[in-house]
Every structure is written in structure tokens, then in C-alpha cells.
Amino acid sequence: MTAAQASGVRPKRLIVYQLLGKLETYRVTRYRVGGSGREVESCFSSVAIADHYAHPQRISECEIRFFAPISLISPRTDSNGFLDLEVFREKIDAWIRRVEKDVRWRAEIVPLPAFGSYKPEDGDQTVWTYNATLGSVAAAALVDMLRSTHLIRERDQEVHLVLNVSTGHNSYIPSLIEALRALLVLDGALSLGKGGVVVDACYAAVDPMRQEPGSVLNVYLLKTSAKFFIDFPFRLRGDVETGCTLKGLYRESAGDLPETLRNDAGPVLDRAKKVLV
């Protein structure tokens, strides 16, 4: 049960993430989401996903967040020599609104670190080399997921998060998957004693692109979750090197636990018992 369900509040927020690839490859395509009979035409499968959840109305608020590696266009720097992310966002947003005439949902651009060497597609003949790592990409994605879901400050509204892994360079996908897993684990940790998790997540994947005129691409949705485990940091029965899980501690009778462990761990164990036992 989620925190929102426990409080009687129905799911209202939908966040769809999509990784952008080469800008010139996007064109209007017909999509069918989740086996439904409804077809949606768009340049972006995430627009079709948002439409799927909104028809019939299952959400009252939706946003699509486009992960955009900074290698997509030639970098622009500010007066201090730093990459001007505001200009970057404006250029990508202008391109989206040029190719997608009917932007029905709020769309945000999320810059990502890039890796590899590229000659951008905007006419610049310079070869730019980027030195990000899979870890830095995952960290940047996680920070934005924390911000968009309001996971830490607000836990009174359920969020359904869809990570669309069908477009963009494959090298970024493992980092985005790890970021989502980290988000779900953190949600589990924060849920202790607070009624349950807030984020309900799934992956989206699309049929390979076909060249036949009028072809329809299916969008598949796969629910995902991440288990949350706690390792207890105190010694038990003199074993300094090996910790034990809270669930394992509960199998011990109170009389077998050292007095200091009972005193220090009691409040934590009482709260965790509802979740782990």
C-alpha cells in the first residue's frame, strides 16, 4: 500500500522520463500504449504514454521530462567559461515545440552529462569530447528524480513514474535504470513509519521503428520495484565483523540481546517490525 492510498488520496501525478537521441531522427509516428485500442500520433512515445494515462482521466497532473545529454548540440558557455545550461534548455525546448506542434503536457528539459566524442548536428564542425562517467550520469538523473517527485519534502501525494528507455544512446540507459532503482530504495527507507511508499514506477519500451507508411508501434509497460533492506550497525553476540538485518534481530528473544543493544535499537526495531516482520 502506498502512502497516498493509506490516506485515501487517489494517484494524481504522472511523470514520464524520456532520453533524447539524435534530434533529426524524430518524426510523427502512431503509437498504441499498453495493449489499448487507442492510437496517438506524436514525435515522442512519451506523449502517447501521457495520453494513455489521461484517457480516461486517471491523472490530473502530468509532466514529461526529457533527459538531454549536453552533446546533442554545440556547447555554449557563459562569461565565466561554464556551460550555459539555460541556453541549452531553451534550444532543446524550441526544437521540441517545432517538431511537436501540439504539446499538451508540461515539458521540461533535464541536461545530462555526456561521454564520447561528437560533431554536433547543428552545423558546428568542431569535434567535442565529453568525459562523464556512468556514475555521474546516474547521479544527475537521480537528483532530478528527487526534485520532480518531491520525495523528501512532500510525501502526501502518490507519483506514478514512467522511465521510457526506447530512445537515445544505449550507453545512458544503465545509468538511468540505476537512478530509478536508487530512488525506489530511498523511497522505501523514507516510508518506515510513514504509511508506505510514494513512488510507483514502471519502464516503457517501444517496438522497433518500421518504415511502412501508417504502421503503428506498440508501447509496452513493465512495472518495477526495488527491495529495501536494513543492515544493523551494532555488534550481536560478539561478532564485530558481521552485521545483521533487523528481521534477523527480531528472531532473537529480548533476553538474548545485550542491554545496550536493547536500549539503543528498541525504537528503531519497533518501527521496522511493521515493515519487515
**Domain match, 184 and 70 both:** yes
Specify whether the CB–CB gap between 64 and 51 falls below 8 A.
no
Q: Which CATH number goes with the domain that contains 196?
A: 3.40.50.10640
DSSP character at residue 239: B
Whether 247 and 206 map to the same domain: the answer is no
Count the domains in the chain: 2
Show the domain range for 256: 231-276
Residues 263 and 219 in one domain: no
pLDDT band at 80 (very low <50, low <70, confident <90, very high): confident
Are 126 and 185 part of one and the same domain?
yes
pLDDT band, very low/low/confident/very high, at 68 (cuts 50, 70, 90): very high
pTM comes to 0.75
- Domain co-membership, 202 together with 267: no
CB 247 within 8 A of CB 276: yes
The number of C-alpha atoms within 13 Å of 88 and in the hemisphere containing its C-beta is: 22
If you average pLDDT over residues 74-100, what whole number do you get? 81
* Residues 77, 168 within the same domain: yes
Dist. CA 243–CA 266, nearest whole Å = 17
Same domain, 205 and 237: no
Report the SS3 class of residue 225: coil
Whether residue 96 is found in the same domain as residue 163:
yes
pLDDT digits (tens, 9 = 90+) for 98-128: 888 666 778 899 989 888 887 766 666 778 7
pLDDT value of residue 193: 63
- On whether both 194 and 247 belong to a single domain, the answer is no
Per DSSP, the residues of 78-96 read -TTSSB-HHHHHHHHHHHH
- The model's pLDDT over 13-43, given as tens digits with 9 standing for 90+, comes to 899 999 998 888 888 888 999 888 788 888 8
CB 27 within 8 A of CB 41: no
Q: Are residues 57 and 186 in the same domain?
A: yes
| 200 Cβ neighbours under 8 A, 6+ residues apart | 2, 11, 158, 159, 160, 161, 223
If you average pLDDT over every residue of the chain, what do you get? Answer: 76
Residue 241 pLDDT: 34
Instruction: Calculate what percentage of the chain has a pLDDT beyond 70.
Output: 71
